Amino acid sequence: MLRTLCLALAAIGFNAMPVLAQDGPLRIVIEEGVIEPLPFAAPAFIAENPSAAEFADQITRVVAADLAGT
pLDDT at 30: 86
Sign of CA pseudo-dihedral 21, 27, 32, 34: positive
CA distance 21 to 39: 36
Q: What pLDDT sits at residue 52?
A: 93
Query: Tens digits of per-residue pLDDT, 6-60?
Result: 777 777 766 666 555 566 788 888 888 878 878 888 888 898 998 899 999 999 9
pLDDT for residue 48: 92
| Amino acid 21: pLDDT | 54
Angle at 66 between CA 62 and CA 69, to 5 degrees: 140
- Domain spans of the chain, in order of start: 42-70
Distance CA 44, CA 12 (A): 59
d(CA 22, CA 15): 14
